[in-house]
């Protein structure tokens, strides 16, 4: 039986996908073979040698030490697209909050409690909270993946002109984007024409601080910025300076920090992007299915550190080999198997960046000595037998 530790509350509709005859799932599980997590910080955790995988019920993996996991042969999964609709709907809300000062208006209206002639006071004071409409304006979408693509399509339906950019746009994602969305060649092209900019990219070395004094200077005066992706995509000092100067009309962010809360022109939403019952259920189900497929068969889908690999089992045993993406690894793996008399039935190899994964179905049993020989090969990180 495999042990699966839940570091956060994971929706039962997901954990119920894990057969209780095969898996022991809980929040107090010891020596886990796999971990399911939402927001819990894992960077200071020590992982036991039995840990095979971590499934993040969500898209971002900032709370997981992905590089360390790669070095230890631990597959890190996420659930791209499972919460996309929930985030898209909040993005549409954010568009409206960026356009019209609804938040301040509501706060002001609440102060009228007990005031004589509330209706008259409202009519006299509402002009302070007037805004603009989105119809006919240009929305720039940075990142056209599962979420960004939905936001772009929804904005088209709202009557907006949409310009998007995604250097890593997949063919599958491209098929789902409305033909009215204009594809820009660079982020700068988007910044120059957008009345609104909505960010939908992960926080990486290349994207952190991408909205800064330099990029803001290329944008239209009065631009409105929406950030439901990650707080550190936007330089806080620069956005506040741009708000003060009028360069930026409003900033809506789903990641409040001490630098952004209580600042005029900034609407801070308490990280509600995927906080819907439907999103949490979808993420839990996808994470559970990913773990089940990997723990039972060694197949990988939606990993952030290892390649997608899927192959029906055709032998008596399956060898799952995690190794560096360097020349001659396959020949060394097959040489060890040949030397030890292991017959290969089927084989698949894929790579992702510096990491590679080879699955070998074999006839007969696999002795511990065979695994030891494979683990002794320079560049092999871990060998698992199913």
pLDDT tens digits for range 132-161: 999 999 999 999 999 999 999 999 999 999
pLDDT bucket at 313, cuts 50 / 70 / 90:
very high
pLDDT band at 60 (very low <50, low <70, confident <90, very high): confident
Residue 122's pLDDT is 95
pLDDT tops 90 at residue 170: no
| Whether residue 171 has pLDDT greater than 90 | no
**pLDDT (0 to 100) of residue 165:** 97
Q: Is residue 197 scored above 90 in pLDDT?
A: yes
Q: What is the pLDDT of residue 196?
A: 98
pLDDT of residue 129: 95
- Residue 7's pLDDT is 95
pLDDT of residue 20: 94
pLDDT of residue 59: 83
The candidate with the shortest Cα–Cα distance to 317, out of 286, 291, 354, 344, is: 344
pLDDT digit string (tens) for 61-110? 989 999 999 999 999 999 988 999 999 999 999 999 999 999 999 999 99
- Closest among 123, 75, 154 to 359, alpha carbons compared: 75
Give 226's contacts (C-beta < 8 A, 6+ positions apart): 91, 94, 95, 98, 196, 197, 198, 199, 251, 252, 253
Q: Is residue 196 within 8 Å of 223, Cβ to Cβ?
A: yes
Query: How many whole angstroms separate alpha carbon 305 and alpha carbon 24?
Result: 25
pLDDT at position 173 over 90: no
Q: Which of 276, 279, 254 is nearest to 199 (CA)?
A: 254
Taking all residues of the chain, what is their mean pLDDT, rounded to a whole number?
Answer: 95
Q: Give yes or no for residue 296 having a pLDDT over 90.
A: yes
Q: Using one digit for the tens of pLDDT, what is the confidence trace for 244-287?
A: 999 999 999 999 999 999 999 999 999 999 889 999 999 999 99
Position of tokens 């020949």? 331
pLDDT at residue 274 in the model: 86
pLDDT of amino acid 204: 87
Per the CB < 8 A criterion, the answer to whether 50 and 32 are in contact is yes
Q: Which domains does the chain have, with CATH numbers?
A: 1-82+277-305 (3.40.50.720), 84-268 (3.40.50.720), 307-386 (3.30.70.260)
* Average pLDDT rounded to a whole number, residues 351-362: 96
């Amino acid at each position: 039986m495999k042990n699966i530790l839940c570091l956060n509350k994971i929706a039962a509709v997901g954990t119920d996908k894990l057969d209780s005859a095969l898996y022991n799932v809980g929040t107090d599980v010891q020596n886990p073979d796999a971990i399911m997590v939402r927001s819990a910080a894992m960077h200071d955790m020590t992982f036991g040698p039995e840990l095979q995988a971590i499934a993040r019920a969500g898209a971002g993996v900032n709370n997981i030490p992905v590089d360390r996991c790669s070095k230890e042969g631990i597959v890190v999964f996420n659930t791209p697209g499972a919460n996309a609709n929930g985030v898209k709907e909040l993005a549409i809300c954010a568009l409206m909050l960026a356009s019209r000062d609804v938040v301040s208006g509501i706060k002001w209206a609440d102060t009228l409690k007990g005031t004589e002639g509330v209706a008259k006071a409202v009519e006299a004071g509402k002009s302070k909270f007037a805004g603009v409409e989105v119809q006919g304006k240009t929305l720039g979408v940075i990142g056209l993946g599962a979420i960004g693509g939905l936001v772009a399509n929804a904005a088209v339906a709202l009557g907006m002109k949409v310009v998007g950019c995604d250097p890593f746009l997949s063919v599958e994602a491209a098929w789902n984007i409305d033909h009215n969305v204009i594809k820009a060649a660079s982020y700068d092209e988007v910044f120059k024409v957008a009345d609104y900019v909505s960010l939908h990219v992960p926080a990486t070395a290349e994207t952190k601080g991408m909205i800064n004094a330099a990029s803001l200077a290329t944008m239209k005066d009065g631009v409105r910025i929406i950030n439901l992706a990650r707080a550190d995509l936007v330089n806080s000092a620069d956005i506040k300076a741009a708000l003060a100067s009028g360069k930026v009309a409003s900033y809506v962010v789903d990641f409040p920090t001490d630098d952004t809360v209580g600042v005029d022109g900034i609407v801070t939403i308490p990280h509600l992007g995927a906080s819907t019952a439907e999103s949490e259920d979808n993420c839990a189900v996808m994470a559970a299915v990913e773990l089940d497929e990997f723990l039972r068969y060694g197949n990988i889908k939606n990993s952030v550190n290892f390649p997608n690999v899927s192959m029906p089992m055709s032998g008596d045993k399956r060898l799952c080999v995690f190794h560096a993406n360097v020349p001659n690894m396959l020949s060394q793996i097959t040489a060890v198997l040949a030397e030890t008399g292991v017959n290969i039935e089927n084989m698949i190899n894929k790579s992702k960046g510096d990491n590679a994964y080879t699955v070998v179905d074999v006839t007969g049993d696999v002795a511990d000595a065979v695994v030891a020989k494979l683990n002794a090969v320079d560049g092999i990180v871990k060998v698992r037998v199913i």
